[in-house]
Amino acid sequence: MSGGRFRKPRHRHAANARSTSEPETTLKTTPDAARDEGMHQRSQSSESRRPFADVIDVSDLAAERRSLKRRLLAMRIVTIALLLAAICVAGFPIVLQYQSSQRLAETSSSAAQNVAGWPYPQAKESLAAARAYNEKLAKSGQPVLGEAVDPFTAAAGGSKAKSEDSAAAKDKEYQSLLDAGNGVMGTIKVPKVSIDLPIYHGTSEEALASGAGHLYGSSLPVGGKSTHSVITGHRGLVEALMFTRLDEIRPGDFFYIEVMGETLGYKVDKISVIKPDDTSKLRIVPGEDRVTLMTCTPYGVNTHRLLISGHRVSIPLPAPDPGDLHDARNIAIITGVGTLLGGWLLVSALRRLRRMPWRVMHHGAIWPQRW
């Protein structure tokens, strides 16, 4: 400031002057330059990836992966085929035994229906005749007990005797008693082990191949004091269960005889093993009402006889109605199969959900893209 006058600064104009005087240094990128720059970058990128592509051949990896998948699929098919074959081999006897059990149960049911259709008092008269036979048998001292042909030895091929030698076949009076049709005299039921067999006269090979047999010389299975009826059956047959599971019976278990429209209940109180020629435990004990179930033992060896013996009890107490008792093994099998099937379905559903793509909806819920 001089002479009282105000002077404006000059540096702003100087700066403007310098800025206008200096040449413009900003570079403008043309389209050709941008294209060249992009090609240069892509070239550098491909050069950087080239060593990795040279080391690993992706096409070979894909082919190897496809080959591995084919081998795994073939192994899976072979495994499933072997598993199915094993199931068929193991299940074939079970199917045969089930079909046989159903057929024999139908035979028993058919005989019972036949008796139910008889005019009154035919069934009562048949029971009365059988009881009269038992009284005479008890007084005789049972001079004959059993057959000339041991049914279990004959079935195993150990006897050359013929069924025509059977004392039961020659006794016309015996054959005429308790005939509900087709030679069936009644039914033996053991609910605990799913036994439901028709009872035939005698213990011939034909009788035991068709169900259970009544031992000739023992009391007819109609109950009453001073009676001891012996019912026999095969064990260990491939095509039929028969008395195979009789060794599972324990004291206190129940079995039943159905004859001429009546149901007789018996409670097991004696279990014993005897030699084939021992009849001491098969004879009548005065005053007792007893039934004994007999089969061969040990399983597959058949050198002895297993006896399951029970005394008469009333129904429904203490013996429950036979329809109220069930085979625990069948229940366990059904439960196990149901559990396995349910588990398989659950695992399949979870695996399917894991493979399914998911998306998030705007309202926050999670939904699969497809079902």
Considering the domain architecture, whether residues 352 and 322 belong to the same structural domain is answered as no
Domain hosting residue 238, numbered range: 106-326
CB 225 within 8 A of CB 287: yes
Q: Is the pLDDT of residue 128 over 50?
A: yes
In this predicted model, what pLDDT tens digit does every residue of 3-56 receive, in sequence order? 444 455 555 544 444 444 444 444 455 656 666 666 656 555 555 555 555 555
3-state helix, strand, coil in the chain (%, to 5): 50, 20, 35
Say what the pTM is.
0.69
Considering the domain architecture, whether residues 200 and 279 belong to the same structural domain is answered as yes
Residue 206 lies in a domain: yes
Answer yes or no: 234 catalytic: yes
Considering the domain architecture, whether residues 257 and 207 belong to the same structural domain is answered as yes
Answer yes or no: 296 catalytic: yes
- Which residue out of 201, 214, 228, 234 is catalytically annotated? 234
Residue 165 lies in a domain: yes
In this predicted model, what pLDDT tens digit does every residue of 249-277 receive, in sequence order? 999 999 999 999 999 999 999 999 999 99
Considering the domain architecture, whether residues 111 and 220 belong to the same structural domain is answered as yes
Confidence class for position 91, pLDDT limits 50, 70, 90: confident
- Which residue out of 214, 228, 296, 311 is catalytically annotated? 296
In this predicted model, what pLDDT tens digit does every residue of 318-351 receive, in sequence order? 888 888 777 666 666 667 767 777 877 777 777 7
Going by C-beta distance under 8 Å and a sequence separation of 6 or more, which residues neighbour residue 322?
189, 191, 254, 256, 263, 265
When divided into structural domains, the chain yields a total of 2
In the numeric block, which tokens belong to residue 311? 């005394």
Residue 231 lies in a domain: yes
